[in-house]
Amino acid sequence: MSDSDSDPMITTSEAVTDGVRIQVRARYSPGHSNPRDSEWFFLYEIRISNEGDDTVQLTDRHWIIIDGSGKTEEVEGEGVVGKQPVLNPGESFEYTSGCPLTTPFGSMTGTYRMQREDGTDFQAEIGLFELVEPGAIH
């Protein structure tokens, strides 16, 4: 993840739960979008960092996606980008994914289910981040 957080086309969020830090950077992707057909596409980069003392594994994801008209969609599934990464203390995992919307703006939030080596698990919070086409008014 680069240091262009001051770029107005980039939105961010950060949350820490039980020693797991989740950082998000999202941006509009004009090359994947077709506004004439009410199709706006956003890319988001995620960095998951284990700042705790226990090894953890990301087992499941739960996203809440809200478009500009207030329509809510929930997406649940195993892992992220086909992986269920194991993070030892001090390790990080990064990936990029995308989200289509039928409006030029919206937001995403959610959780990752993280499992410790002893079998206990917790929901690591993904802080709310905005999805905004540059120039969209809301």
Mean pLDDT of 47-75: 98
Q: Which of 1-10, 46-55, 56-65, 122-131 has the lowest average pLDDT?
A: 1-10
Q: Mean per-residue pLDDT for 54-70?
A: 98
Torsional sign, CA 98, 63, 89, 10: positive
| Per-residue pLDDT band at 5 (split at 50, 70, 90) | very low
For residues 15-43, average pLDDT: 97
Domains and CATH numbers, the chain: 10-132 (2.60.40.1470)
CA–CA distance, 133 with 91 (Å, rounded to integer): 33
Residue type, 106: G
Give the pLDDT of residue 9. Answer: 85
Question: What is the mean predicted confidence (pLDDT) over 72-95?
Answer: 98
